Amino acid sequence: MQVTIRAYDQKDLSQMTEILNEIIEIGGTTAYLSPLKESDLESWTKRKVAHARWNVAQDETGQIVGFQWAESHPNLPPEAASIATFVRVGVVGAGIGSKLFEATSTQMRALGFEWINASIRSDNDSGLRYYTKMGFIDWKVDPDAALSDGRVTGKNHKRFDL
């Protein structure tokens, strides 16, 4: 599969929502528990946060196969960005996440961030493996972190120094 990384465009929202909702439906790999509407993702892309960057991975047919964003976050110091990554079910392992992170980390470095934080459910083995593979290391673990439905899953906070 040939993958191109490019900046998100509003026309990508439908496929991005589809990717995230399929992951939510499967369960166990994201903190989001309820299906999202396209307007939900659209509002996220328009948040007034410093230096947000949204990237999509597109295959040779034009299909969006993954997306990633990084931005400042109120629970992090100003030199840190928070990151989130989602890859279409069935194409995980095709190097999509690596290519997305290469673009995003370059952008965050250019914007002056010193490190990137990834907060992952402690029971999300694939997410923990992905961020470890990208070079993130644990800097904080919250074993009592709960999901919006009250289930305690814990949360690992990993950091990548730029």
Mean pLDDT of the chain: 93
Q: What is the DSSP string of the chain?
A: --EEEEE--GGGHHHHHHHHHHHHHH-SS-S--S---HHHHHHHHT---TT-EEEEEEETTS-EEEEEEEE--TTS-TTEEEEEEEE-TT-TTSSHHHHHHHHHHHHHHHTT--EEEEEEETT-HHHHHHHHHTT-EEEEEETT-B-TTS-B--EEEEEEE-
Reading the block at residue 79, the tokens are: 């030199």
Give the number of domains in the chain: 1
Per-residue pLDDT tens over the stretch 67-87: 999 999 999 999 999 999 999
Strands 3-7 and 53-59: antiparallel
At 17-37, the pLDDT tens digits run 999 999 999 876 777 888 999
Inter-residue contact 116 to 80 (CB < 8 Å): yes
Residue 68 sits in a domain whose CATH number is 3.40.630.30
Range of the domain at 99: 3-161
Model confidence at 6: pLDDT above 70: yes
Asked whether 97 and 160 are in contact (CB, 8 A), the reply is no
Tokens in use for 153?
């899953």
Q: Which of 99, 9, 21 is nearest to 59 (CA)?
A: 99
Q: If pLDDT is split at 50, 70 and 90, which confidence band does 94 have?
A: confident
Dist CA 126 CA 56 (whole Å)? 19
